[in-house]
Amino acid sequence: MTFLSKFIFMPRVRVHQHVNPLSPFYQFIPPPIEIEKIFANPQSPLHLDIGCARGRFVLKMARMFPDRNFLGVEIREPLVTEGNRLARECNLTNLRYEFNNATYSLNRLLENFPADVLETVTIQFPDPWYKRKHAKRRMVDENLVATIAGHLKVSGKIFIQTDVDFLAEEMFEIFRANENLVEFGIFANPFPVKTERETAVEEKYLPIYRALFEKAQ
């Protein structure tokens, strides 16, 4: 079986479309990642994809860039289990998925990371939670941005994209408010891989709102 056929023909694990990150089940503190235990070359630059869903973006990136490590974080645990199984079957020792409520405890997950390892971060099409009464369920808040900025190496980049205009403005403002980050204008995805959601939105010719931030100091 080829690499591609492995994930094209594999039955998709069934999951809830959304989970409530505020429910007690998702308010857990994970043990910090020991980076030398999860990657064959722990000193390689790391890419973190937050809200990776089935994780095909990092899977393809890990195939393309074997000298980099890729970590996908996702709140729906069955997708994490499936992703790690697939990574093992594909012998990708530079790819790992972690079950985590990023808004609640990403800081704890990354606590033991060396200062200079996290080079790029992506947040792509996070759930918008449209209703005002559900706004607290949205992924990006000041604490998450502080966690990312705190662990990112200097000159490290954060790429964010969504097809929801009000969510884009809300998220971008929170990133702009972090004093360690500088914004760059961007119109296209700077990575050679699209997520499943990006492909779906492009096929409908709908607009996508994107931003790129760099850690200045």
Ligand X SMILES: C[S@@+](CC[C@H](N)C(=O)[O-])C[C@H]1O[C@@H](n2cnc3c(N)ncnc32)[C@H](O)[C@@H]1O
Q: Given the rule CB under 6 A, which residues bind ligand X?
A: 21, 51-53, 73-76, 100-103, 124-127, 139, 195-198
Catalytic-role residue among 49, 67, 116, 127: 127
Of the pair 46, 167, the CB lying nearest ligand X is at: 167
In angstroms, give the least distance from the CB of 217 to ligand X: 27
In angstroms, give the least distance from the CB of 139 to ligand X: 4
| Both structure tokens of 202 | 């492009």
Q: What are phi and psi of 145, to 5 degrees?
A: -65, -40
CA 74 to each of CA 48, 89, 191: distance values in angstroms, whole numbers, following the listed order: 11, 20, 20
Of the pair 51, 83, the CB lying nearest ligand X is at: 51
In angstroms, give the least distance from the CB of 123 to ligand X: 8
Of the pair 43, 203, the CB lying nearest ligand X is at: 203
The 10 Å Cβ neighbour count of residue 52 is 27
In angstroms, give the least distance from the CB of 75 to ligand X: 4
CA atoms within 13 A on the CB side of 91: 2
Q: How far apart are CA 165 and CA 108, in angstroms?
A: 31
Of the pair 205, 217, the CB lying nearest ligand X is at: 205
- Is 127 part of the annotated catalytic residue set? yes
What type of residue is 82?
E
Give the pairing of strands 209-215 and 152-162. antiparallel
Nearest-CB residue for ligand X: 51
Q: Which residues are catalytic?
A: 127
